[in-house]
Amino acid sequence: GAVVSQHPSWVICKSGTSVKIECRSLDFQATTMFWYRQFPKQSLMLMATSNEGSKATYEQGVEKDKFLINHASLTLSTLTVTSAHPEDSSFYICSAKRGTSGITTDTQYFGPGTRLTVL
């Protein structure tokens, strides 16, 4: 159990367009989901933390109006990169924490990542 999926796996878009990335917990309810960016051979950079039904908490330096996060259900969080530019090209990874009856475990389950290329 504890599988996290992301869709799409790859996306190529033109500069100025918006891209939506989905993160789903397939076999558990995720009360908290995280969005990360990763550059080659570097640590994951936390962008934001989202809790189901509430606004996401963004890390310092991450533009909330550019990276829109919605955690509408206990199994789905979406990251929308608005007006994407080439510098937004990166590997975006989500993770989810399992929650049961209001109790959240510490273990994070990571998704396979979405590679975004902005032309």
Partner 1 sequence: GQNIDQPTEMTATEGAIVQINCTYQTSGFNGLFWYQQHAGEAPTFLSYNVLDGLEEKGRFSSFLSRSKGYSYLLLKELQMKDSASYLCAVMDSNYQLIWGAGTKLIIKP
Residue 43 vs 54, nearer CB to partner 1: 43
- Is 109 a binding residue for partner 1 by CB under 8 A? The answer is yes
Q: Which two tokens stand for residue 63?
A: 């533009």
Edge-to-edge strand ranges of the sheet holding 4-7: 4-7, 19-25, 76-81, 67-73
Binding map of partner 1 across residues 3-22, x = CB under 8 A, - = no contact = ------xx------------
Report the alpha-carbon distance of residue 22 to residue 73 in Å, rounded: 12
DSSP 80-100: EE-S--GGG-EEEEEEEEEEE
* CB 18, CB 82: distance < 8 Å: yes
Position among 43, 54, 60, 101 found at the interface with partner 1 (CB under 8 A) = 43
Q: Which of residues 49-88 bind partner 1 (CB under 8 A)?
A: none
Total residues interacting with partner 1, rule: CB under 8 A: 20
The binding site for partner 1 (CB under 8 A) comprises 2, 9-10, 34, 36, 41-46, 93, 106-110, 112-113, 115
